[in-house]
Chains A and B, each alone.
Chain A
Amino acid sequence: MPVGLPEFVDNPENRCPVILLLDTSSSMTGEPIQALTQGLQVFREEVQQDTKAALSVEVAIVSFGPVQLLQDFVTIEQFNPPPLVAEGYTPMGEAINFALDLLEGRKEIYKANGIQYYRPWLFLITDGAPTDSWQAAAARIREGEANRKFCFFAVAVAGADMETLRQIAPPERPPIQLTGLQFQPLFVWLSTSMKRVSSAKVGEAVALPPVGWGQITT
């Protein structure tokens, strides 16, 4: 009797969640907000070129001005970069707290559905100084980083309050000063990093590509 071949169980892909925390306060009006919007398109296109990353990467966008869930978690296929409107103050503390809660909720969904996931990324882009109380949010960031719950990156656009950002970002990953409005190279870098993370082998430390779009300021 010929022996058949093993059949495969259909398991969901591993997920690679990333939250973009975008400063859309009124100081971003004009060129910065346009460049940022284009950057999101670049991110989408770049990730989509990689079959594995396209299935794994899930993106959410939290914007502030007023804190808004501009885009709940979606895979790259379903991701249509929303238009960004610059308005209001810079409630960075509230936005960080909102993003961390959003992430916790997402993890619960993964766990309930047996979906394995990589260490999530939080990616903050700002050109200002927080206009609200940010100390509690900074403490959550640092605690989460210390426990390796997520990776937090802070990108400073010209005009950002570097002193405060340094106190929010974890000491091992200081804020990066964006060169001019080089949002495109920034998002190419982010997508390359996501590709590496989503194809990482078990136990592998992921080496990130060099930061060509900004300066790491310690």
Chain B
Amino acid sequence: MSWTTIARSAIGTRHQEQQLPCQDSTTVRVLGEVAIGAVADGAGSAAYADVGAKLAVETTLQYLSRTEVWLQRRQFSWSTLPDFPPVDLLHRLFSKAVQRTRQALHRQAQATDSTLDDFACTLLLFLATPYWLAAMQIGDGFIVVRSPYQSYQLLFQPDKGEFANQTSFVTSPDAIATLQVRLWADTPSFICAATDGVERVAIRFRDWTAFPPFFQPLEAYLEAASPPGPDESYLVDFLTSDRLNARTDDDKTLLLCRYQPSP
């Protein structure tokens, strides 16, 4: 198996106390040599943040997966492109995915007599092949990538306003205009996407760099996994640990991928 993946969310202690649901959502899927992942964090101020985050993850993952399925039916794949995909193509691809999400959220809002803002959430997406990774970010949270023999790199600078409690959402009027897209033109040996609940312990704010001692054990955890996949208890135990809860009272999500070339 070329990709080893796992994605889990855990409720924060604050939402637990307030008897609110976990407002993070995440999924990762492998199609042949392509790994596709999504992470969303529902806005605390939105009435149906949990529904919004879940719908955003499902809709975008389905959309991106369909592009790969469509290619595979024609004996192609995102992983068999002769060259890196042009960034403007990726921009269109992710814009489309976000548009679909907004439409899905809009339908949900109409069906439940609520507003689009009631489903506000951030969104991180990536599509990874053995040769490159394309990623998108709206709002906060982070994606960290490592290529063979390289160090951990933070893919996007944080999308924050001046103050600590500001960010942008999929439901913002300018979401499509402001979404950030990046092509990582190297093998993504390790990928970690996370919501901002994990940010404080994994990213050094002074210069916005990934903190290697946070990521190394997570990578070793995937490396030690054998089919059918990693033992989820390690990740779930970590996400629900008192040690982590002492540092954040927010919902927490980690999506992890490791690429190992087939022998």
Residues of A within 8 A of B (CB): 1, 3-9, 11-12, 14, 113-119, 149, 197, 199-206
A118 touches B164 (CB 8 A): yes
Residue of B nearest to A119 (CB): B163
Tell me how far the C-beta of B38 lies from the nearest C-beta in chain A, rounded to whole angstroms: 18
Is B250 a contact of A11 with CB atoms below 8 Å? no
Asked if B45 and A6 sit within 8 Å, CB to CB, the answer is: no
Known: A201-B165, A202-B167. A11 touches B217 (CB 8 A): no
Report the interface size class on chain B. 35 or more
Q: List 24 A-B contacts (CB under 8 A).
A: A1-B220, A3-B224, A4-B217, A6-B201, A6-B215, A6-B238, A9-B204, A11-B200, A11-B204, A12-B205, A113-B206, A114-B204, A116-B164, A197-B165, A201-B43, A202-B140, A202-B164, A202-B166, A202-B250, A203-B43, A203-B44, A203-B45, A203-B166, A204-B165
Measured CB to CB, the closest approach of chain A to B87, in angstroms, equals 28
Query: Which of these, B43, B139, B218, contacts A204 with CB under 8 Å?
Result: B43
- Give Cα distance in the complex from A6 to B212, angstroms: 9
Task: Name the CB-closest residue of B to A1.
Answer: B224
Measured in the bound complex, the distance between the Cα atoms of B226 and A12 in whole Å is 38
A148 to B45 CA separation, bound complex (whole angstroms): 18
Chain A at the B interface: mostly helix, strand, loop or mixed? loop
Closest to A13 in B: B200
Residue contact A205 to B45, C-beta cutoff 8 Å: yes
CB distance from B74 to the nearest CB of A (A): 41
Which residues from B are CB-within-8-Å of A201? 14, 43-45, 165, 250
- Cross-interface CB contact of A11 among B162, B163, B205, B218, cutoff 8 Å: B205
Q: Is the CB of A204 within 8 A of B45?
A: yes
Contacts of A116 in B (CB 8 A): 160, 163-164, 205
B205:A3 contact, CB within 8 angstroms:
no
Give the contacting residue for A202; candidates B196, B203, B243; CB below 8 A. B196
Q: CB within 8 A of B217: which of A6, A12, A200?
A: A6
